Amino acid sequence: MAIVLKPETEEKLRQTAQREGQDVDILADALLAEVLAQREREFTEDVAAVQEAWTAVREGRERPFAEFMADHRRRFPDPTLGTADAP
């Protein structure tokens, strides 16, 4: 596989490899592997959070935001919006 880098990115990669005494290809592979692993962890955490939220809603521990806001507006009306009954 060949990856085309912007000249600025390639230069930073080369400088980092030289500074760390590493082969540029090995460093690029390690950096890509690290970023991909982090993205996978974040994705897994995000999916778990969404699944937990839906479970909480289904079990009645939480409620959808739209339902919360409708209740909030009913309990705490905004006086600056006025009402249809106002003179």
Write the single-letter amino acid at 38.
Q
What pLDDT is attached to residue 83? 57
pLDDT digits (tens, 9 = 90+) for 24-48: 999 999 999 999 999 999 999 999 9
- 15 in Cβ contact with 4 (< 8 Å): no
pLDDT at 87 over 90: no
Taking residues 12-32, what's their average pLDDT?
A: 97
Burial (0-12, 13-18, 19+ Cβ within 10 Å), 45? exposed
Q: How far is CA 32 from the centre of its chain?
A: 19
Q: Which pTM was predicted?
A: 0.62
- 17 in Cβ contact with 27 (< 8 Å): yes
pLDDT digits (tens, 9 = 90+) for 52-86: 988 998 898 988 889 889 999 999 988 887 655 44
